[in-house]
Amino acid sequence: MDHRPLGRSGLSVSAIGLGCMGMSEFYGPSDDEQSLATLAAALERGINFFDTADMYGVGHNERLLGRFLKGRRDQVILATKFGNVRGPNGERLGVSGTPDYVRSACDASLARLGIDTIDLYYQHRVDPDTPIEETVGAMKGLVEAGKVRFLGLSECSVATLRRAHAVHPITAVQIEYSLWSREPEAEMLDACRELGITFVAYSPLGRSFLTGTVKSPDSLAPDDFRRQNPRFTGEALQQNLKLTEALADFAAAKGATSAQVALAWILNKQDHVVPIPGTRRIAYLEQNIAATALRLAPAEIATLDGLFAPEAVAGTRYHAAGMAMLNL
């Protein structure tokens, strides 16, 4: 497994990480034992960068990772997040970046994870009602207290990133980035390179759509959030399916899967980006790992860029309420 620097932290992480969200929520039913087996397989195969958040499964995902980390803590670089506030029954209560909330959320995450220190602590969504300087100031306090090693932001703008970075060095920025979500190419990727920040690409497989395995909302579980995602419904779905068909043809010519090409496109195009595809299955995990060895020539990258030109993708990344939470 190749490795990439984690910002200027002095740490290196596997070229791809593992997003753990789907092991607890959003993509239909999951099985803890299957998830634990997949986590163990990932570590055995060289993945050392695991990503979770306090809101995934309303704490369930962190508790699951806590079970996995027992006896393995020193082998894992663990990232978790705060800021999306949920009630005990999963109800959405908004976004908070107040200093008091930052401190209490960190303590709660540490307890669920069963660890003393979080390697990388992200603000999951920027709180529009709390200046980023106050939020990052509180996060800096967590570093000084030894509860957190390095800081990150998720779904922030370049302007917000620069303000945050002036308070305390930001090690990683996490934003959705894939063949069909290329907004970071406008400014953010260059800003991260300039500041020595690792860009962590979540949903690099387009929430599985780019794998070609999702043809209709009917193939998804009743509680799968993608049923409400604009890109997975109606006319947008039909337009986007044409893109996955073209990707499948490209991948077949390379002797690879669509998922492997989608990951290789990121890895070959950007050397300071670490994608974190999520999966609950070892078979898919192994396919994703194989993508790290797939080489794409500049002409092939350009071909894929053209196939997935932003104007060719139909539908927004989230429904209106979700889009409103992004710090664009």
Q: What domains can you pick out in the chain, each with its CATH number?
A: 3-212+259-296 (3.20.20.100)
Place of tokens 């800081």: 151
Closest CA to 55 of 107, 110, 92: 92
- Positions of E strands within 99-228: 118-123, 148-154, 170-176, 198-202
Q: What is the distance between the alpha carbons of residues 21 and 310, in angstroms, rounded to a whole number? A: 26
Residues 126 and 316: their CA atoms lie apart, in Å, by 19
Tell me, yes or no, if 177 is annotated catalytic: no
Q: Residues 56, 101, 177, 284: which is the catalytic one?
A: 56
Nearest Cα to 240, choosing from 323, 164, 311, 159? 311
pLDDT at 219: 82
Q: Which of 323, 326, 19, 325 is nearest to 201 (CA)?
A: 19
Amino acid at 119: D
pLDDT value at residue 325: 83
Residues in the chain, total: 328
Could you write out the three-class secondary structure of 29-91?
Answer: CCCHHHHHHHHHHHHHCCCCEEECCCCCCCCHHHHHHHHHHCCCHHHCEEEEEECEEECCCCC
**Could you list the pLDDT tens digit for every one of the 328 residues in the chain?**
999 999 999 999 999 999 999 999 888 788 999 999 999 999 999 999 999 999 999 999 999 999 999 999 999 999 999 999 989 888 989 999 999 999 999 999 999 999 999 999 999 999 999 999 999 999 999 999 999 999 999 999 999 999 999 999 999 999 999 999 999 999 999 999 999 999 999 999 999 999 998 888 888 888 888 888 889 889 999 999 999 999 999 999 999 999 999 999 999 999 999 999 999 999 999 999 999 999 999 999 999 999 999 999 988 888 887 888 888 7
Q: How far apart are CA 260 and CA 263, in angstroms?
A: 5
Please list, in sequence order, all residues whose beta carbon lies within 8 angstroms of the beta carbon of residue 252, skipping any fewer than 6 positions away: none
The confidence score (pLDDT) of residue 225 equals: 81
Give alpha helix (H) positions in 117-205: 132-144, 158-167, 188-195
pLDDT at position 78 = 98
Which pLDDT score, from 0 to 100, does residue 88 have? 86
pLDDT at 228: 86
For residue 283, the model assigns a pLDDT of 96
What single-letter DSSP state applies at residue 175? E
pLDDT score at 221: 86
CA distance 185 to 172: 16
Per-residue pLDDT, 38 = 98
